[in-house]
Amino acid sequence: MKKLITLILLFIFTIVNAQEFSYGVVLGNSFFDAGNNNGSDRMHAKSYSQFLPGVYGEYNFNENIGIKADVFLTNKPVNYFKYISGYTYQSEIDLKYFEFSTNLKYDFGNTYREGFYMLIGPKFNLLTKATSEGEDVKDSFESFYVSAQLGFGWRVFQFVDLQTKFEYDVMPFFKTRNDHNSKFFGAIVSVNIDIEKMLSN
């Protein structure tokens, strides 16, 4: 057992210290709204823009292809509208998520991490908290859903990327009710700071 743990730790240490691996921080904004509202239940973003700090890790397989993963703790406040017999009932709901994305990255430059690139892949969203006026309403929302992402970026300085990712949920975040099928859509515009590159210089 000790040998197995030692081998796993050695493997992780080798990957982390390999030239192909990098990591850093993400500072940006998430722009989003909820669409595909149907029936008597509707959702729209209360604030269409949220500051989005996070971290990322990246590994390239060759000079053009790699995997870039990032992690965020996000806050998505929404306004909930319910229509009953001609009356509209409105409430504010604060949704908090743990988000993890794994994107396939294609770098168009001659050297990886030095030019224009494109990203595509899934994002996994785990609901951590849902409250309305201090009341827990987590049971009304899906605890897990998946989004699709497509984006592009450019290394503008030696260790700084400017990046934009468009995303659309492929699963609803609100539990189906009265044909309600709300899904988030939007974009993440960010600056990615390559800490590994910065420290190695």
Q: What is the pTM of this model?
A: 0.83
Q: Give the Cα separation of 16 and 4 in Å (integer).
A: 18
Q: What is the mean pLDDT of residues 155-170?
A: 93
Q: Count how many domains the chain has.
A: 1
Which domain covers residue 81, as residue numbers?
Answer: 21-200
Q: Is residue 5 part of a domain?
A: no
Find residue 131's DSSP bridge partners: 94, 136
Residue 17 has pLDDT above 50, yes or no: no
Q: Is residue 81 part of a domain?
A: yes
Q: Give the Cα separation of 126 and 37 in Å (integer).
A: 21
Do residues 171 and 185 make contact, with C-beta atoms less than 8 angstroms apart?
no
Q: What is the mean pLDDT of residues 153-165?
A: 93
pLDDT at 157: 86
Q: Residue 155: which CATH number?
A: 2.40.160.20
pLDDT at 16: 47
Q: Is residue 15 part of a domain?
A: no
Q: Is residue 167 part of a domain?
A: yes
Picking from 49, 185, 181, 165, the residue whose alpha carbon sits closest to that of residue 101 is 165
